[in-house]
Amino acid sequence: MKETKSINRMNIIDGDQVPLAIVSSLTDTHSTATRRWGSSMSVYLLALLIGIVAGLRAMTAPAAVSWGAYLGWIGVSGSWAAFMGHWIAVLVFTLLALVELITDQLPSTPSRKVPMQFGARIVSGAFCGAVIGTAGGMLVGGLIAGAIGAVIGTLGGAEVRGRLARAFGKDLPAALIEDAVAIVAAFLIASAVA
């Protein structure tokens, strides 16, 4: 453990005299780097989580991100993603999410693991992750984290929903639980970006 004593604008660290300005700048640099690392990890985590939501419900994630941008939770004004905060984007993504929630209950809806459905979820997760990444100054990292989250959400969501459906003896309760989890999680994630 280093012993520090302050004497006449100098710090004595382990017997050596070090000017206070140097110690101060080292401390500031360390705390800034720690904040930046913590901030970047938060952005990556939120992007991963919104990707998981996209894996559960492909349109719920962009609807929540759009609402987040519209409400000022996700700061994207002046960036490529600024359109997400416009009322038209909110309306379009909200309508698409509602349509998806309804069509998901239909027996003719294909599995989320078929290429078209799986691909749509990865694109949605990557897009939403990129928007969150942009708000945190890490577009590419957010995009990648969102895509990874979408894969996790697609495969994990299918597995959990299948188990729940077997436990309930039918799919509808499992689907409704998945809908509720996706909606609540999406809005918690979007509000956490702020």
Q: Give percent above pLDDT 70 in the chain.
A: 80
pLDDT for res 53 = 98
pLDDT for res 41 = 84
- Number of alpha carbons in the 13 Å side-chain half-sphere of residue 51: 31
d(CA 104, CA 98): 10
Q: What average pLDDT score do residues 103-107 get?
A: 87
Strand ranges, E, within the chain? 4-7, 10-13, 16-19
Residue 11's pLDDT band (cuts 50, 70, 90): very low
Residue 5's pLDDT band (cuts 50, 70, 90): very low
pLDDT for res 107 = 84
Q: What average pLDDT score do residues 165-175 get?
A: 94
pLDDT for res 37 = 44
Q: Does residue 6 have a pLDDT over 80? A: no
pLDDT for res 16 = 52
Pairing of strands 16-19, 10-13: antiparallel
What residues does each domain of the chain span?
40-193
pLDDT for res 152 = 98
Give Dmax over CA atoms of the chain in angstroms. 79
Per-chain mean pLDDT for the chain: 86
pLDDT for res 40 = 80
**Which tens digit of pLDDT belongs to each residue from 52-75?**
999 999 999 999 999 999 999 999
Specify the pTM.
Answer: 0.80
Q: Does residue 8 have a pLDDT over 60? A: no
> What 3-state DSSP class applies to 111?
coil
